[in-house]
Chains A and B, each alone.
Chain A
Amino acid sequence: MKRDRLIGAILLVVALSAISGLALITVFIFREGVPIILRVGAGQFFLSTDWEPSLGHFGILSMIGGSLAVTVGAAVIGVVFSLGLAIVLTQFAPPALAAALKPAIELLAGIPSVVYGFVGVVTLVPLIRHSLGGPGLSVLAASIVLGIMILPTITSIAIDALQAVPRSYVEGSIALGATRWQTVTMVLLRAARSGIVAAVILGMGRAIGETMAVIMVAGNALALPHSLLDPVRTLTSNIALEMGYASGDHRQALFATGVTLFVIITLLNTAALAVSRRRAGRRRVG
């Protein structure tokens, strides 16, 4: 009994130190980042595209735009392929194929992001430059690379969501004269909707936080993108590219960029949690 209590106490200390480490990091980022936002003015900081640290101009709108463009692009690509994969693997593929492919997809998540970026630079960027024009380093290239990177996340959560739909729904639907495909679109996807939405949001959270691969293929230009072929700089790239030589206000502005990212990702994760908790809530069809 006494030993149990001792071990419990030790584990509690370990757990609390991990959590307090996180808490301290959070406090530190906000303490470093928030003052410069207040000094520059929130409107100026978030809504200006003028980022010229040597002149004291700190506007991160182009980076916000870049991050959003790249994330939305990645989500579109990721969702199309992941949902397709999840549907095929759970509904149409022979079980042996599904059993072989699922670990293979999960393996994709283990490849370091710099490798994705490198493959993107070597193959995708020249391909885009030659066939579509522009510098090649672009929103499109970053979206494709990120879309592939978030594929394992979305696919495996979507597979779980689809497998959680009772088999009797599928059989009931088919017995009423639905084809396999009608059953997928009208019953399965609808029943698994909240899980799939959560999967997509989590995938977006990964995409917006990714740094290395994006720096390599996005071009890092400081301007709002006007087309898919324009180069962009994301919030994460901005921090990674400039932290080496930043000091003073500039360094604080980078922390403020981090605060912005932190808030966006927290919001995305909260949304994913909220959606997946709301399962089996109101369900009506128009």
Chain B
Amino acid sequence: MPAPRIQVQGFTACFDGKPAVKNLDLEIFPHERLAIIGPASSGKTTFLRSLNRLNDLDPGFTHSGEILRDGKNIYDADVDVAELRRKIGMVYAVPVPLPWSIYDNLVYGLRLAGVRDRATLNERVETALRYAVLWDEVKDRLHEPANVLSGGQQQRLCIARVLVLEPDVLILDEPCSGLDPISTGKIEDALVTLKERHSIVLVTNNTKQAARASDRTAFFLLGDLIEVGPTAQLFTKPTHKRTNDYLVGQFG
């Protein structure tokens, strides 16, 4: 196994003193798709939002333990949070393009990062759209408002606007929860290509999606990581009874 890109060590996240993720140890490797499954309020989203420090926006958020990215704790005082968020790109459950054109959505992150050169912007936009399997559908109307796209296209746009920043890790929070099966398939296809360049963390409520679209799967329950392993193994021979109960649908 190559060196992990992200190492989570003894990480606990609390809101108003109540732990949402407890003493978590987990590694994320390059070129892998890690699925995170578990019932509601098991800490999946909290974990995801800890990776790009989006939980910092919540005044009640506190944490302990470490999340190391290339060996450095992302919660250290000297970390550039904006840069971190560009390198750990997040996609939300509900696609929310900003109320601008498709093109402006795509270049927003780059402009924030100080990229001004037209040619670079255009080139990165095209590459990102191709990786997100959206280029053919929007190449002739980049300057139309983003909200005229369908839900599935908007979600791929949201993925593309993260990809233009060339992140190390792509974190997706139930990216297909509002999409039809065809759109879902397109996004899952995109993930296969994307893992060539990025680590992917996919939170999903759909265990079938985890089985289809991941290399390893982690099972969370009430803030605890119950087990993590290669997806095929976890789904066929889970080590823990509670994992098995969840997979066969006994709760959650």
Task: Verify if A52 is at the interface (C-beta below 8 Å from B).
Answer: no
State the CA gap A283–B98 with chains docked (Å).
Answer: 10
Tell whether, in the assembled complex, residue A172 and residue B98 are in contact, meaning their CB atoms are under 8 Å apart: yes
Q: In the complex, which of the residues A94, A169, A177, A283 contacts B85, with contact meaning CB atoms closer than 8 Å?
A: A177
Per the bound structure, the CA–CA distance linking A175 and B84 in Å amounts to 9
User: By the criterion CB–CB under 8 Å, are A179 and B82 in contact?
Assistant: yes
Interface code A176-193, partner B: CB below 8 Å = 1, 0 otherwise?
A: 111100100011001100
Pick from A94, A172, A174, A186: contact of B96, CB under 8 Å: A172
Query: Quick check: A177 and B86 within 8 Å, CB to CB?
Result: yes
A135-178 residues with Cβ-Cβ distance < 8 A to B are: 166, 168-169, 171-178
In the complex, the answer to whether A176 meets B112 with C-beta atoms within 8 Å is yes
Contacting residues of chain B (137-158) with chain A, CB-CB under 8 angstroms: 143, 145, 158
For residue B56, give the distance in angstroms from its CB to the closest CB of chain A: 9
Contact between B109 and A176, CB atoms less than 8 A apart: yes
Closest chain B residue to A187, Cβ basis: B98
The answer to whether B57 and A285 touch across the interface, beta carbons within 8 angstroms, is: no
B158 contacts across to A, CB distance below 8 A: 172
Which of B89, B92, B100 is close to A171, meaning CB atoms less than 8 Å apart?
B92
> Is A177 touching B165 in the complex (CB atoms < 8 A)?
yes
Let me know if B90 is at the binding interface, CB within 8 A: yes
B92-103 interface code vs A (CB 8 A; 1 in, 0 out): 101010111100
Interface residues of B, count at CB 8 A = 28
Does A284 belong to the interface (CB within 8 Å)? yes
Q: Say yes or no: B82 contacts A177, CB within 8 Å.
A: yes
Asked if A284 and B100 sit within 8 Å, CB to CB, the answer is yes
Q: Is B196 an interface residue (CB 8 A)?
A: no
Write the nearest CB–CB distance from A23 to chain B, whole angstroms. Answer: 40
Contact B112 A178 (CB under 8 A): yes
Q: A278–B90 Cα gap in the complex (Å)?
A: 32
Task: Flag whether A122 is at the interface (Cβ < 8 A).
Answer: no
A175's closest neighbor in chain B, by CB? B90
- In the bound complex, residues from chain B placing their C-beta under 8 Å from that of A173 are 98, 108
Residue of A nearest to B146 (CB): A283
Check B99–A280 contact: CB distance below 8 A.
yes
Chain B residues near A179 (CB, 8 Å)? 82
B109→A177 contact, CB < 8 A: yes
Count contacts on A: residues with CB < 8 A to the other chain.
Answer: 22
Instruction: Assess whether A172 is in contact with B113, with CB atoms less than 8 Å apart.
Output: no
User: Which residues of the other chain, A, contact B22 by a CB distance below 8 angstroms?
Assistant: none
Residue pair A284, B85 in contact (C-beta under 8 Å): no
Q: Which of B86, B89, B104, B109 contacts A284 (CB 8 A)?
A: B104
Would you give the shortest CB distance from B101 to chain A, in whole angstroms? 5
CB distance from A281 to the nearest CB of B (A): 10
CB distance from A96 to the nearest CB of B (A): 10
State the CA gap A261–B28 with chains docked (Å).
68
Contact B54 A171 (CB under 8 A): yes
Chain A residues, CB < 8 A from B98:
169, 172-173, 187, 191
Chain B residue at minimal CB-CB distance from A169: B98
**Would A166 and B57 be within 8 Å (CB), given that A173-B108, A176-B112 are in contact?**
no
Interface assignment of B52: CB less than 8 Å from any CB of chain A:
yes
Cα A284 to Cα B100 in complex, Å, equals 5
Closest to B90 in A: A175
Q: What residue in chain B is nearest A176 (Cβ atoms)?
A: B109
Interface centre among B83, B94, B108 (most CB of A within 10 A): B108
| A43-58 interface code vs B (CB 8 A; 1 in, 0 out) | 0000000000000000
Of A94, A166, A172, A190, which is in contact with the most chain B CB atoms at under 10 Å from its CB?
A172
25 A-B pairs in the complex with CB atoms less than 8 angstroms apart: A168-B96, A169-B96, A171-B54, A172-B158, A173-B98, A173-B108, A174-B54, A176-B89, A177-B82, A177-B85, A177-B109, A177-B112, A179-B82, A186-B108, A187-B98, A191-B98, A191-B99, A280-B99, A283-B100, A284-B101, A284-B104, A284-B143, A285-B100, A285-B101, A285-B104
Q: A168-B92, A172-B96 are in contact. List 10 more A-B contacts (CB 8 A).
A: A94-B59, A171-B54, A172-B92, A175-B90, A176-B86, A176-B89, A177-B109, A179-B82, A186-B112, A284-B101
Q: Which residues of A are in contact with B by a Cβ distance under 8 Å?
A: 94, 166, 168-169, 171-179, 182, 186-187, 190-191, 280, 283-285
